[in-house]
């Protein structure tokens, strides 16, 4: 028997991610929402316009998160993770990023990136 999922199901997951209003550059993966502040090096504001849903590169669906330039660095450390969160209670998505040393008072550019959910196989 074949497996299938309608695009609206996958897009529903991205509709939750789209609730993010902050993208934090972090020095480690925060264990939960409360742990974000302790590892945040820089924070960019995001909105629905920063999320573009489309067909996946291989299958399924993807959401591309827009690049952010000149984001103020508020703490020194080595960036290793990016966290999307709702700025109130939920760590919506965590991913790794290329390791980069950041110095407080400077700025950092965050390139565009994507989240992809494949069709079932």
36: pLDDT confidence band, cut at 50, 70 and 90?
very high
Residue 64 pLDDT: 98
Q: What are phi and psi of 14, to 5 degrees?
A: -70, -25
Across the chain, mean pLDDT equals: 97
Distant-in-sequence, close-in-space partners of 83: CB < 8 Å, separation ≥ 6? 23, 24, 26, 29, 30, 36, 40, 91, 93, 94
Contacts of 51 (CB under 8 A, 6+ apart): 14, 17, 18, 20, 63, 64, 65, 66
Backbone dihedral angles phi then psi of residue 43, each to the nearest 5 degrees:
-140, 135
Question: pLDDT over 90 for what percent of the chain?
Answer: 98
């Amino acid at each position: 028997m074949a497996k299938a999922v309608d695009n609206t199901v996958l897009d529903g997951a991205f509709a939750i991610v789209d609730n993010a209003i902050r993208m934090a550059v972090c020095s480690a993966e925060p264990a939960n929402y409360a742990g974000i502040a302790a590892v945040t090096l820089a924070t960019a504001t995001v909105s629905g316009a920063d999320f573009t849903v489309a067909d996946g590169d291989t299958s399924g669906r993807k959401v591309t998160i827009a690049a952010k330039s000149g984001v103020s660095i508020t703490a020194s450390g080595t960036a290793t993770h990016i966290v999307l969160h709702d700025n109130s209670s939920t760590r919506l998505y965590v991913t790794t990023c290329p390791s980069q040393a950041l110095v407080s008072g400077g700025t950092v550019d965050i390139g565009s990136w994507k989240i992809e959910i494949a069709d079932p196989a």
